[in-house]
Structure 1
Amino acid sequence: MPQAMTPGGLVDASCDEFQHGTPNHSASAPGKQAELVIRNPRLPHITQGFIELRLLASRLVQDSHNRLQGMVGLLAEGDRSDGDKKARIIEHMLERRKQFIKLLVLTMWAKNAQAVSEVIDLKVFLDTRQEIFHKVVWNLYEVRRKMSYARIPNPDLDTAVRVLSTGRANTAMTRRYVPRKKLTSKETLKVLRDLNTLLSLRLALHEKLPTYFRDYTIASGRATFTVADEFEADLCIGDEDPKSQLYLVDFRFIFEPSVKTLPASPIRDDVEGRGNIILKQRGLEGIYDYLHEFVMTDKICTLARQFKIMLTGRWTENLVVNMRRRTLVVQYWISRAPEGETKSWIEVGVKRGTGGRPSRLGVRWIRDGKAVQDQEVPLDVAVLSAENLIKTVIAMHTKHILTSIQSRLAHSPVFPLSAMVLTAHPTDSFNSSLKLQLTPSIPVKLLIEPITGRFALHPPAMAAAHAPTCIEDLIKLKFVLTQEEVETRARSMGWEVLKMLKFRKEELKGFFPSTTKYISYLRREGWGKEWVIAMVLADTGQTWWVAKVHEAPSQWSMSMALEIPVHGEANATYGFLGNLEKMSSAMITLYVNQSVLVEKGVQHKLQPSKVADPKLTIPDLYIRFSSLIHANWGIDVLRLTFQGLGAEGKCIVTVLGRTKEPMTQLGSTNISAADSDVSFHPQSGSYAIRFNINVGESVIEPLVEKLHRIERLIRFVAVIRRFNLPCLDVSLGRIAFTYDTESNSSAEVSFSGDREMKLHLPPRSPHIRIKGFLEHKLNVSGLETVVMALTVTLPLLLAFERIEAAVGDTSDGHVFVLSRSVDWFRIYYRRLGVVLDWQLQCRKSVLHWFVRDAVSSNPESEVDIVGGEARRQAEELRGIWSGEVVGDWEPLKSGAAAGLREVGALAWKIHELIYAGMGVIS
């Protein structure tokens, strides 16, 4: 019967099997059999995991926007190169392009969404059918595999013939088919008693028991042999014959830590199998040797595991554990044995038995590269503990080291035998110590840290900065404790203890006593790197030195050492250290300044200070003035004195001097207020220069510079007073004054030693246009010339400013004022083509300003001036040149002359005439 089926052959349950629930009988063919119509099944519709296209598009757009913002933020970082930025942009664009291409493909497929959904439904349906087929094949295979064991044995024809002929079967053959009856409790007890009896008779009469198998018990049908601290083995028999084999039934460890009974595993099977073979071949002697060696190996492995666990704790990086065949090697005190030096370790292994004794577990100790023969390391074989073992070895090693130190120190007069007490602990090295009475009030214990093996001192507060590493360090410890208090207090006062300074002994012999035992180097905070204080302990006593050191490529070197004339106590006080700082700073300062004076060839000498202080004997340095600077304005003696220490440990140095003549020209000017480092006494001519310098700096160069500035200041103030100009500010580096009160015009001159002087003018000063010429005059001719130039040029420059301001308010052109020099100006009326020259000249011993028409005086040479534009003669000014225009000036036919005060009026009148002739009144 034809049927319409789906690919899976399933009937569509959702369709009606019959039309209207009844068979479909054809109306046109009555009498024919009705056909059953089976409709195609409807495939399951898959919607799980579907995402709306609009949601996918919106998420892709949002993701692209977020990534674009992130990329813009990365590109804004300044540490990225242009190439990196371009690469990131291209990578971003390619990635976005791929995503949008995928979206385009999905969009194109969405046009046929219904057909695609049907294809997905069909694909899922086919996949489920295929999975069912695979499961059917796999189940058939499993059935086939399991049925291979359900086979019927081959027919036993011999037994069948016997049964058919005699009516009875062989007993041995029937046992396979007919199970025996279970024993009752009474029968079981009887069997066990018989086995116990047979075992007792056999072990007592027929077996030769090894020495270490004499301890055994018989119970429950088995003999249990016990080997102390090793194992228990259960043996039984399988036959009454005394020559039959014994069998290994069970085996147990009886040491700690261990597994009491071996679990069911290949190891247990191997032990039982090999044990039974050995019992058959070698008997009880062989099984003991086998099990004994097996237990020894397990104990070594147990110790190895414990050491491995220790490496994960506080012993990490302080032990090295290795297994060499059946020997465990453990090296300790790794940090005490660098590369190439002797090492210490233990070897745990099996020692051969001697004199009929069996092998045993033993420890071989190698101390500092040599095997120890006279001491045996105890090992607890009943309770294995790797930590106790290594602690015991370390305690023995610690006792050996402390005993050796005690015996060696006993030969030194520094530590008599009565001043040493040795305490040794058998298992804990940290409780072992060598007590040393360093001083009557300071005992100290020498310890050895068990894990690292380093020396330690207790209490730490009274020990040196580092634990000693050799006996020589213990001898020096007395000196260290003597200096410890000094160093501690020095640190609290801001001193630095220099432990890194190392010098050759040959080099130090040239500076310090030959009996020197210990040297401590200190440096005050803020000092130069080359200056240190050395505290020297020698057989002759304690001395203090100022030393100059240098850092060479290989080591430090010392070039100078001066003994400080003070005597400190071992228990140095804070007051002593304060005076020591002052004395050392003063000596360094005087030495540095002396060295500079020697280099310059300046005469000088040291003399005792006039200020007597019994605690500080600091001399003064006297310098010849004329030898220091080539000038004769001062008395020929300068006195450099050390005044003490200021803030942050800086030195306060004062230089006192006096001029040959009183400095009354300074008047009441308070220079000290402007420059706090210099003070004057004008009536006596005395001056004092104060320096606040770091320790080790020289004041000679700044002193010379300040002396030059004092000399220049005196000269400048005299010039200002001579011109009767009011001073605005006076200091050693600058002088400010007003050179015209009506226009409030001021200037300032800054100077520093021999460097070039600078002229400073206010931004709206009329002399800004000639500042360069004035500054040149200042450095070439001095301040007097500049002051005079400022005074004589001011009226004309003010007139120029007035003219420029007036022309700037009109729209008829520009006026250019060109400065040729301090006394020569050219004014150019560009739109009117007029050029005038203003020059300052002396006439009848009086300064006048002369104005001339530049074109009429030299027309050929002036045609191309200022861009070569057309020029003309100023016909408007003929009235001034001829005297027709009367004023406070003097006509000169081709020009005019005016005094210093009248030049402004002349310049403005000329400006008015020029503009009036053009019909422009400004």
Structure 2
Amino acid sequence: MPLMMDGDDGPEDVAPAEKKGKEVMTTTNGVQVQASAPSAPSTSSLKQPSILDLPPELRHITEGLYSVGKLLGRETEKCWKDMQDLTEDLARMTPGASTTNGVHGHMNNGASSSTSVDQSKKLKILEFAQSHRDMFTKLLVIWKWTPKNDALRRLIDLWAWILESDEHPNQAAWWIGQQRYNSDRWKEPNPDIRTALEVLSTGKASWLPDFGFIPPEPMTPEDILKLLRRTNTDLSIRINLHEDLPRTLRTYSIKNGRVTFNIPGEFELDVSVQDDNHESPFYFIDLRFTFTPQIEIPDGRFLAGLEPEMNSLLASSGLVGCYEYLHNFCLTLKIQTLKRQAVQLAMDTYANALRVEMVRRMLIVQYWIESPGSKNWFEIGVSSSQPSKKRWFKRDPEPPALTIRWMRNSKEVQTVQDLHIDWSSLSMERILQRIISSHICHIFERILSHLESEIPVGSTLASKLCLDDADASNSYLRVTLAKQSNAVELVIEPITGRFAFKPPSIESTRIEAELNNDPNPCEHAAEKIKRLLALSLRSHDEKQAVQFGWEIALHLRIRSEDLHKAFNAKKILQSTFFRVPSWTSKWMVALVIDLAGESWWAVEIDEWITGGSIRKVMKMLSRRPGSTSAPVDQSFLRQLESEIVAAIGTAVCERHLRDRDVPHEWSNQEAVTNNGRYMADMLCIRASRLLAKIVPTVQLPADLRHAVLRLSHVGFVTRQGKLYHVFQACLRTNAGAHLGRIRAAPDRRVHFDQNGGFKTWVRCPFAESCVDALLERLASIYRLRVLVDALRDRGICRPSEISLSSVAFTYNKVRSLKATIRLPDHKSGKIALELDPKNPQYRLRPLLTESLNNPAIPPTRSLPLFTQNLLSTSPLTRAFGLIESIVSEPPFTMFPPPTFESRSETWHRIVYSPPNPTCSFDVCLRVHDNRTVWHIADNITKKSDDRPPYERDTPPLGTNPARQFIRDECLATALRLLWRARADGWEGINSGIIAPVSSIEAALIRLDEVVRGCRQEIGSTTTTESNTVQQASRSRPTSSSQQPQLHQQQHLRPPQLANQQVPRPGQNMNRSNMQQRPNIQNRLGFAPNQGMQQGRAPQAQMQGSRHNQKPPPEVITLD
């Protein structure tokens, strides 16, 4: 509120004329002053008012003032809490409990009980509402007063200033009186110069009285010695006979006229007596403290004050009272000494680590003041009831003694007596060291107990605890995981109590900070130590893996539950997933660290980027073979990668076999690699079950039906940044030594032993199954074996080159011929036959090749059939060549050679056309009397449509009658004679000739001679007739649906096995309606020759296309 200055009038008392030239100013105290306006300078000589002339600012009173908002908030909070309590009380108020059988007793009425409870509830609600309503009413009144807050505050400040001003005179009067009282001590009396001059000049004052004192005579040494001996005797008699000394004063010595009481670790007291009266008191002579650091009692004021006090105690309480006084004094002095040492340590060595306090006669020292959690301190004080194990006199009370009380983590330690503190040699630093050492030992023991309680069976976690009760810096806890090099030492800094790890690292710094900020580090230190060891091991292994070329998968999002379930671990400390750049699938390398140490796993995941879920895991060797403590270095990772690649390859193969329902089992056997020998897992597969997809088991040789194929991973190669598995398949059989030449074949893909067994190596892309490639390889080996067996059975196995891709051999005893069979390397390939163009059988190469690739015939039958046909057709084709070569000799140069048509390797047709005699013959391979023979049949006996065009009947043209073909009588007679002849192993059968394979050449030459010997004269008639026949053949095309028919005769059958289904000679193998090949046969390469070109001999060309040829009958009859 505005105030008026003394001597000023109010604004209403100032004349208008006086107001014009002045300006009114208001200070912060509300005082208004007048200042001259700058526009009207004053003409008077008075000093202008200034802001410096104002009175001082009023002191604002803040004591006892509270915020209304805070008051409302607290009251609201209190109301809310009371309402919650009321709700809980109302919930607990239930009607009286019923009896055991659930029926209310006769003295208890359920309705009345419920009513009383309801009344109580209503009463509590009303009391709650009334009390808080009154409080909020008061708050409302206070709230309405808040608009007057500013004026009321100024009034309070003014009232305080008035009270303070009224007190100033009283304070001034008191101060003046105090100054007069204090000045009295500085007043000096008037000097007595007269007395001073007389004393200084004469040595005495005449007005002083003289008492006539006679000084004693000085004592001689003999008198002194006599006095001391008598005093010693008096003291001995007095103490032994008249004094009842307590136990603490029974250690004494008497000499030099005094008795010295020695209290060990405290003090030595010298007293004496004046006479031999046992009732006379002792008097004090000297006092010495015997504890260290030793305190010297100086002569002067302290000793002058101590001596009368001691003599008074000796006179009143005797030696017991004097001992109690000095004992308590010594205890207090020891506490003060320890306090002084503690303060010195707090300012020096233990700066910012100690807090020293004195509470009466008790010293409190708190250490590790910056550590979080509960506090640690110890108290040194005086205990008046110290127990004693030895008590000589039970009536003697125990004297007070110094004791220590240790509070560790705010809990009293009961074994504090084990510290064995020496109170006679006081050293606060030594006490601190012992207490801190014991505390550190306790922490390490608790951490060690937590570590040992969680160590499972087979764990590689090892710990070593080194404790030193005297020096805490020598105590440490050493923990190792997996290997000795992966170790950490946990130490505790004695002064600050902070944890530290040795050796320091980035991981240890973070763990140290967590431990030092943990309120309860003992409970969590074990987990953090294990995590630090795992981090250290993981950091080292990751560094080595990155240097090795692996990449850390940083974006995997695999749940912790999936990790524990996949790796079958209760607790995983650390895990890392690595990607190998040369791997192109969803396989990774996982490093898992738990209490059992580090373990390496091959992991297959669902999603390449984020991981998804884990599909399959396989544990690898934790260490290289033969070593359990090998470090993780480049050589170890190289060996580990080999093991992981091998495990992945075999796992994928096993999955493939399981999907195909191929039985298999694991076998641990010794494997040999470039890195040495070690035990490896092999897949044992029964060869018959694997080959059953392509060859029925019943068709397999006996040695293969029960043979076991052992599949093992022997290495990997990298081509163009991609990795490929290399598998070795080993199969042992007893096939015999006839495969010796195969064993000597220079093929790196397979190696045969002397018993017919083999080892083969297949390669497949990473993480892909090698079963298909192995099956192809087995099919190639099987085809090679079947082919070699077939050649051996025919007695023509003189191979010059044998490998999985080709077999070159010679045959034909008469003329050494060479043939090469190229076996396919892939499932879509075909078997190829290579013959020398000069070979007579070169004309049959397409037919022989097609028979090799016939999908309807298994290799066990097609290859032997091929060798049979190869040997059977050799003399036949040689005869064809000889017949063709006759035209080059006179007189046959003017006649064309016959035409040879080969519809299959077992069915051929010889056609003589004009100017040769018109005739044709079919040469077919048959079985007669269990031997293979060639059957030469005359086509004149067949239907017209089954004959060549020159021998067919002419159909009617217009009104002309049909003309029947009539063979020349000369030729017919010659042939009838030939059909009844026999020579060179062949024989006629009325309609043809049967010749063994070795005699077919002679039979065909004889037939050719007969036909050429009956040639017709060249003339116009013959020419005209020949032209007429040719025109008829052109006008009447041959129907592809007509089949040649021969007379059926007995005792002949095709030269195949009894249960074999062979296509009829000339049957088209490339028709569109041919049954498709099975998948397994596709792998074996037994495929028909798609689009195969028909081969032609150098001298003669094969007439017609095999697609338009008709097969002969399956069985013919010979008479």
TM-score under structure 1 length normalisation: 0.43
Q: Which has the higher contact order (CA 8 A, sep 6+)?
A: 2
- Structure number with greater Rg is 2
TM-score normalised per structure 2: 0.36
